Homo-oligomer: A and B are copies of this chain.
Amino acid sequence: MKTEIIPVGTEILLGNIVDTDSSFLASELSSLGLDLYFISTVGDNHDRLFDTLKRAWERAGLIIVTGGLGPTQDDITREAIGMLVDEELRVDEALWQELRNLFSRYPGRIPEGNTKQAAVIPSAQVIHNSMGTAPGWWVEKDGHIIIALPGPPEEMKLMWQESVRPRLKQKTGEAIILSRTIKTFQVAEARVDELVAPISGLSNPTLATYINPDGVYLRITAKAQRREEAESLVRRTEEQVRAMLASHIWGVDDETLESVVGDLLRSRELRLATMESCTAGLLCTTVAGGRESCIFYRGGLLACSHEAKTALGVGVQPGEPHGEENLKVAKAMAETARQSLNADIGLGVGGRLSCDTNSGDVFTAIVWDEFDMTHTHRVRGNHLRMKQRATYAALFDLRRVLLERRINAPDH
């Protein structure tokens, strides 16, 4: 069924709040196999809300309105829906009693405005709000469904889970939408597009690519009547994608590069230490932020200058290093981290990031007992983006090394 979400609230149009309700509802709708074509955000203005509702009525079978159900003057969702389906609002005595009971728990009398919240139209069924005073509406008329939900995310989500989702699931067959996100690094978005071109025309599953600091994501989305169907559709396409993108792929779905690297280290009982300069702490923060990092991560050193590197025991020539020397410095940093934090593996990241050219050269080094290796990376973007790219480049290198070489953990 074609669906449209209508978030109502001037605070959204003023940028005072981020509308997270819509993204929650969007992913819920897609998991129900409902096609969301538009999210039409409008302010607390009666005419504009009415126009938006009318348009939605013309192009969608299911309309979900969030917000505008409060007790104040500028809460106009009830009135606008009444006008849309040409029905009059009347105070529902039972509902009004319910609200009064709710308020009787608190000191002070019930604010007059709240009678508004007890007003309903004949074809509206009230949806109980177990968290707040704003009841929701489920309206069915002329083959359309209009659902009005409160704006506050917690109230909206609870009402959705308790009452709306189950009921919608019955209405809307069992069409299932499954998606799988394949995560890559060190390959351009357009290049990913080229590589998967042979299957990019598919209508089911569909393919979509996104750029992220930790690389290009490729999302496979399949739609089917039964979960098994959807799963096998996704599986088959994922196999093709994996054959096409091969070594660029580092993870799927919720996996992060730090969690992938962390799992490899943990499973081999290896302990990591880092030393960084140009990433300005982002490397240690990212690694330490990974799942159960305390098990495999000893800690990290940040040196913001050559002086600081020397103070921490990194043997560097005075002055800016050049060419090969950069790799030597990165290696010395990795070794210093490893030794001073008594770890098995040292990861060093140095380099220069220019905010004038928005580009930089990053040098990574990985060091442990039997072996060490260094890499050079080119990064682009604003300062933050370059630091992110450098951090993920280092983790991507470490991941590959851990996969390619059997590093044995010494007996701890």
Q: Which of A87-95, A167-175, A320-328, A378-386 contacts its partner?
A: A378-386
- Specify which chain B residues have a CB less than 8 angstroms from the CB of A73 in the assembled complex: 193, 200
- Specify which chain B residues have a CB less than 8 angstroms from the CB of A301 in the assembled complex: 299-302
If A194-B112, A285-B285, A312-B341 touch, does A179 touch B14 (CB 8 Å cutoff)?
yes
Proximity string of chain A (155-185) to chain B, C-beta cutoff 8 Å, 1 when within and 0 when not = 0001000000000000000000001010000
If A211-B152, A385-B131 touch, does A298 touch B294 (CB 8 Å cutoff)?
no
A342 on the interface (CB 8 Å rule)? yes
Taken together, the copies of this chain in the complex come to 2
**In the bound complex, do residue A341 and residue B308 qualify as a contact, i.e. CB atoms below 8 Å apart?**
yes
**In the bound complex, do residue A304 and residue B288 qualify as a contact, i.e. CB atoms below 8 Å apart?**
yes
The distance from the CB of A155 to the nearest CB of chain B, in whole angstroms, is 8
- Specify which chain B residues have a CB less than 8 angstroms from the CB of A281 in the assembled complex: 281-282, 284-289, 300
- Given B200, B209, B302, which contacts A299 in the complex, CB threshold below 8 Å? B302
If A281-B285, A304-B299 touch, does A12 touch B38 (CB 8 Å cutoff)?
no
A191 on the interface (CB 8 Å rule)? yes
**In the bound complex, do residue A72 and residue B111 qualify as a contact, i.e. CB atoms below 8 Å apart?**
no
Proximity string of chain A (260-301) to chain B, C-beta cutoff 8 Å, 1 when within and 0 when not = 000000000000000000001110111111000110011111
If A285-B285, A342-B307, A384-B154 touch, does A16 touch B27 (CB 8 Å cutoff)?
yes
The distance from the CB of A241 to the nearest CB of chain B, in whole angstroms, is 15
A284 to B308, CA, bound (A): 14
**In the bound complex, do residue B304 and residue A16 qualify as a contact, i.e. CB atoms below 8 Å apart?**
no
The distance from the CB of A270 to the nearest CB of chain B, in whole angstroms, is 14
A44 to B20, CA, bound (A): 21
A113 to B28, CA, bound (A): 33
**In the bound complex, do residue A378 and residue B105 qualify as a contact, i.e. CB atoms below 8 Å apart?**
yes
The distance from the CB of A91 to the nearest CB of chain B, in whole angstroms, is 15
- Specify which chain B residues have a CB less than 8 angstroms from the CB of A303 in the assembled complex: 298-299, 341
Q: Which residue of B has the minimal Cβ distance to A177?
A: B14
**In the bound complex, do residue B285 and residue A312 qualify as a contact, i.e. CB atoms below 8 Å apart?**
no
- Given B28, B287, B298, which contacts A15 in the complex, CB threshold below 8 Å? B28
A132 on the interface (CB 8 Å rule)? yes
A106 to B190, CA, bound (A): 14
**In the bound complex, do residue B41 and residue A14 qualify as a contact, i.e. CB atoms below 8 Å apart?**
no
- Specify which chain B residues have a CB less than 8 angstroms from the CB of A286 in the assembled complex: 281
A280 to B293, CA, bound (A): 10
A311 to B235, CA, bound (A): 47
The distance from the CB of A148 to the nearest CB of chain B, in whole angstroms, is 17
A372 on the interface (CB 8 Å rule)? no
The distance from the CB of A352 to the nearest CB of chain B, in whole angstroms, is 12
> A residues bordering B, Cβ < 8 Å?
10-20, 22-30, 36-45, 48, 52, 55, 70-74, 105-106, 108, 111-114, 130-132, 152, 154, 158, 179, 181, 188-191, 193-194, 200, 208-211, 219, 221, 280-282, 284-289, 293-294, 297-305, 307-308, 311-312, 340-342, 358-359, 378, 380-382, 384-385
Top 8 nearest A-B pairs by Cβ distance? A15-B27, A15-B26, A281-B285, A111-B190, A39-B41, A280-B288, A113-B190, A281-B284
